[in-house]
Amino acid sequence: MKHETVRTSSFAMPLTSPAFPPGPYRFVNREYFIIQYRTDPEALRRVVPEPLELTEAVVNYEFIRMPDSTGFGDYTESGQVIPVTYKGQLGGFTHQMFLNDHPPIAGGRELWGFPKKLAQPKLEVEIDTLVGTLNYGSVRIATGTMGYKHRALDAAAEARKLAAPNFLLKIIPHVDGTPRICELVRYHLEDITVKGAWTGPAALDLYSHALAPVAELPVLQVLSAKHIVADLTLGLGAVVHDYLAAGQATPQRAGALTAANAG
C-alpha cells in the first residue's frame, strides 16, 4: 500500500476495516433517564479540569438507551455529567461513561474524547417503574428508579437543554507513554426532536468499585429526574483548549509518573 493511500484512506483503526464508519451519527428514539443529585463539592473539584468552572455541587447521572444509531447500532450507556461553565457559557462536562458496544466506545474515544469503558448498562420499564442499572462485570455499581411518566414536561424546553454545549477531556498517548493529545473538546447535539418528556419520583444508589468509581461523587440528595425520548444528531467537536500548547507544563514521561506514584 502506497504512502499516499495510507494518508488519504486513514479514518480510524484498523486501517482496512475501521471499528466505526464516518458520520454523521443520527440517533432515532434515543431514550434518556437523567437523575440530578447533590454531591460533595470537594469531590467535584478533584475531577473537573480547568478552565472549566463549577456552577453548583450537582451531578446528572444518566442512563441512555440507543436502539437505532447510524453506524453504532443498538446499545445502552450510563455515566455522570457535571454542570459547568466555560468562559461564561453553561454546559456539561462528561466525567465517565460505561457502555456495552465496541464501535461507539472506539469512535467516542478516538473522535471526540468520550471517557468510555466497557460495562453492562440497562434501561427498561418494569411495570410502573423506569429502571436503570449498571453492572461492571458481575458487580452492580448503579441503580436508578423513577415513577413511569407521572407528569409531562415541556418538550421544547427539554430540547433547548439538550442543545447546550458539552465538554470532554480528550487524551491520546504517544508511543512512549507521554501525552500526544490532551485537549478540552466542545460538541453539541444537533437537529433535535423531542418526542416526549416526563418526570416522577426518583431514587439513585451508587456503589463503590475500584475501576468504575461512580460512587466517588456520592449521592447526598436526589433533586429531580426526567425521562426523555428524542431523535438527534451527535455533532462533531471543536478543540477549545490545548493543555500541551506552548506555555503549558511539560508532561512527565510514563516511567517518571510510575516512579513518583510508587514513592
DSSP 132-147: EEEEETTEEEEEEEEE
Is-catalytic flag, 116? yes
For residue 41, whether the previous peptide bond is cis, meaning omega lies within 30 degrees of 0, is: no
Catalytic residue among 2, 116, 122, 149: 116
CA angle 143, 147, 150 (to 5 degrees): 150
The single-letter code of the amino acid at 22 is: P
Would you give the DSSP letter of residue 13?
Answer: S
User: Cell match 421544547: residue?
Assistant: 156
Distance of CA 91 to the CA centre of its chain: 13
Helix, strand, coil fractions of the chain, as percent rounded to 5: 15, 50, 30
User: Long-range contacts of range 18-21, CB-CB < 8 Å, 24 or more positions apart?
Assistant: 19/102, 19/103, 19/106, 19/107, 20/71, 20/72, 20/103, 20/104, 20/106, 20/107, 21/70, 21/71
Give the integer Cα–Cα distance in Å for 217 and 254.
27
Would you give the DSSP letter of residue 11?
Answer: S
- Written as nine digits, the cell of 120 is 453492562
Residues with catalytic function: 116
